[in-house]
Amino acid sequence: MGTEQSTVLQVRDLHVQVHNQKGNSTIVQGINFELKRGQVLGLIGESGCGKTVTSMSILQTLDPKTTKVEGSIALRGRELNGLAEQDMRKIRGKDIAYIMQNPMNAFTPVFTIGQQMIESIRSHTSFSKKQAKELATEALHHVNLPHPAKLLHSYPFQLSGGMLQRVMIAIAACLEPAVLIADEPTTALDVFNQKTVLKYLDGLRSEFGTAILLISHDLGVIAEMADEVAVMQNGRIVENGDVFQLFDEPKHDYTKKLLSARLTLPMDQLAT
């Protein structure tokens, strides 16, 4: 494929304010980053620093009555901020995919996995039910989930967290997204499942050239997957750069603090 490095998603000067009874408060400010084709950008920071708000604003799912989103979010040159809902809907799930943090709650409990996968596929394509089903089966096969045909008839509560994460990845794979936002994809999983999920995320990247925004507070995950890293603190990006450089020679104090707190990572992996 070569080293084609075109920018897929560009976020400039993102500024999100929330309006509540006490007035306006700023959640994130001055956020700038780029996602390039086939690249993984890691976004690290502690809970509450604004990572999820950032991804929600990319997807334009924040409540317009209480939040104000300023700045530019451009997907392949197309401005997303302020885009009409029906146009944005087409982009969600197809051009920009999302992996949720807690997979156990993500799906609707009363519908089967198959029904929801097919529904996802058919709302973005003009496939028939049968075609969608075939596509879904194949995708499940790709992420190495056992007995895909049977799985399609299962309900979400019958699957484990790791399996559900892979289903989410499978859905994304069906639609070949340009961007995938993975919000803490490994937090709810055990170590073995973590590795598996990361492997398939990487698969998306290599097969479709999907740009991945990998949000995590787990530095080990970032170290393994990311090409570039951005560090967030209190709603701002305090440092960004190449993953190796950042980990070896952190410039910002906060980055240094984060890194020093995770010295025991290799030991964790050995223990299991």
Binding site for other proteins (CB under 8 A): 59, 61, 85, 89-94, 98, 100, 102, 105-111, 119-120, 123-124, 155, 157-158, 171
**For residue 123, what are the CA distances in angstroms to 58, 120, 136, 138?**
20, 5, 14, 18
- What is the C-alpha separation between 206 and 202, in angstroms, rounded? 6
Backbone angles phi, psi at 99, to 5 degrees: -110, 125
Q: Which is nearer to other proteins, 38 or 156 (CB)?
A: 156
Q: What angle do CA 249, 216, 262 make, to 5 degrees?
A: 50
CB of 172 to other proteins, least distance (A): 9
CB of 144 to other proteins, least distance (A): 22
CB of 107 to other proteins, least distance (A): 6
Count the residues in the chain: 272
Q: Which is nearer to other proteins, 7 or 154 (CB)?
A: 154
Edge to edge, what strands does the sheet with 236-242 contain?
96-99, 179-183, 211-216, 40-44, 228-233, 236-242
**For residue 101, what are the CA distances in angstroms to 89, 214, 260?**
21, 11, 25
Q: Which is nearer to other proteins, 78 or 251 (CB)?
A: 78
CB of 198 to other proteins, least distance (A): 21
- What is the C-alpha separation between 130 and 123, in angstroms, rounded? 14
CB of 12 to other proteins, least distance (A): 23
Q: CB atoms < 10 A from the CB of 102, how many?
A: 13
Q: H helices then E strands: how many in the chain?
A: 12, 10
Helix axes 161-175, 191-208, angle to 10 degrees: 0
Q: Which is nearer to other proteins, 53 or 237 (CB)?
A: 53
Q: Which is nearer to other proteins, 29 or 123 (CB)?
A: 123
CB of 17 to other proteins, least distance (A): 20
Q: Which is nearer to other proteins, 90 or 129 (CB)?
A: 90
